[in-house]
Amino acid sequence: MEKTRKWKWGKYRWWVLGLLILTWISITFIASPIQPHIQVAPERILLEPLFSLPVIGDFYLVNTLPTLLVLDIIIILMALAVKKALQGGNLVPKGITSIVEMLVEVLYNMTATSAGKYTKKIFPWFASILMIVIVANFMKIIPGMETIGVLHHYDHGYETQALGGNWYNILPVEAHEGAGYIVTPFFRGVSTDLNFTLSLALIAVFMTQFIGVQTQGIGYFSKFLNVRTIFKKPALGFIDFLVGFLELISEIAKILSFTFRLFGVMFSGTVLVALLGSMLPIFAPAGIFLFELFMGAIQAFVFGMLTMVFMVQATQGHGEHADH
């Protein structure tokens, strides 16, 4: 008989116990947790603007821009790794290639089931948006994210402790008014920036209209401005006109829904981790991080699926959609 392998707790318990003791020592004697400065808008790493534009105004280096750059680098490296693996002629995927292949296959099959002959038009946008959001949400587990940064003066800040050179530690002691500091992290979760979520929402909704026009022609806009029967059958025509007006409102509402759903969930997770991390620093943050990763995956899937569903609906004529 084949023997089943059992996971032995005793082999790892001393490692777990040692890490717990090390965590307790570090938060008690080395780096005690403090109440972080929570701000809805991304913080400025540099207080002076990088440049100014005539209409837009001052452009500052905020801490979601470096995160966005790292996000782009991660996705590009993943794509290059998959490309290199495929060029090697190896038919058996390994490592990250197998994960990406499995994910792409699942997403493509989901798109093909709903979109049919329009799968090749919709799949690149669906998969790209989902991959960007899920990588952006999972980046929060990278060590140093939202914890290491520059010190800025703050009226109700904390005292600092010199560690050597230009390195300082924030102490859990409130400083005198005007003499305290807060930490502005170098990296902040990009999904907690309304600019990022709004940009994705605008891209998703705009491409939905583009695919609708591409598949149905200029007649696609008749569902927003339906006046074809208003003179033949005034009563029904007026109802069709109102329905089209509601369709237009719903398209605008999609932008708000996309933007604030992703932003609200990820920002609330950041606040929850920060608050519990300062009150219960040993056990609570790990559980909240796991929950936040779960919610990040769910939100990425919801964002991508809604984009795909709206694009599929845009490829269908008004009569086709009603019959369906």
SS3 content of the chain, % helix, strand, coil (to 5): 65, 10, 25
Cα–Cα distance list, 240 to 165, 206, 314 (Å): 71, 24, 18
pLDDT (0 to 100) of residue 321: 44
Q: How far apart are CA 191 and CA 259, in angstroms?
A: 10
Contact 182, 190 (CB under 8 A): no
Contact 81, 96 (CB under 8 A): yes
Q: How far apart are CA 174 and CA 245, in angstroms?
A: 55
Q: How many CB atoms lie within 10 A of CB 60?
A: 16
Cα–Cα distance list, 249 to 184, 224, 227, 252 (Å): 39, 9, 17, 5
Name the nearest CA neighbour of 193 among 38, 69, 42.
42
Q: How far apart are CA 78 and CA 127, in angstroms?
A: 14
Q: Tell me how many degrees the CA angle 313-318-319 measures, rounded to the nearest 5.
A: 120
DSSP state of 26: I
Name the nearest CA neighbour of 36 among 281, 269, 271, 287.
271
pLDDT (0 to 100) of residue 225: 77
Q: How many CB atoms lie within 10 A of CB 230?
A: 15
Name the nearest CA neighbour of 96 among 109, 78, 83, 108.
78
Q: How would you label 273-294 residue by residue, b for 16+ Cβ within 10 Å and e otherwise?
A: bbebbbeebeebbeebbeebbe
Q: What is the pTM of this model?
A: 0.82
Q: How far apart are CA 215 and CA 206, in angstroms?
A: 14
Three-state secondary-structure class, residue 58 = strand
pLDDT (0 to 100) of residue 260: 94
Q: How far apart are CA 15 and CA 13, in angstroms?
A: 5
What residue segments make up the domains of the chain, in order of their start? 35-148+190-323, 149-185
Per-residue pLDDT of the chain (324 residues; tens, 9 = 90+): 455 555 555 667 777 777 778 777 776 666 667 777 788 889 999 888 888 988 888 899 999 999 999 999 999 998 888 888 777 666 666 777 778 888 888 999 999 998 888 999 999 999 999 999 999 999 988 878 888 889 888 877 888 888 888 888 888 788 877 678 888 899 999 999 999 999 999 999 999 999 999 988 888 888 887 766 666 676 776 777 788 788 889 889 999 999 999 999 999 888 887 777 767 666 666 777 788 888 889 999 999 999 999 999 988 865 544 444
Contact 251, 245 (CB under 8 A): no
E-assigned strand segments in 100-249: 149-154, 158-164, 167-174, 180-185
Contact 266, 134 (CB under 8 A): no
pLDDT (0 to 100) of residue 221: 83
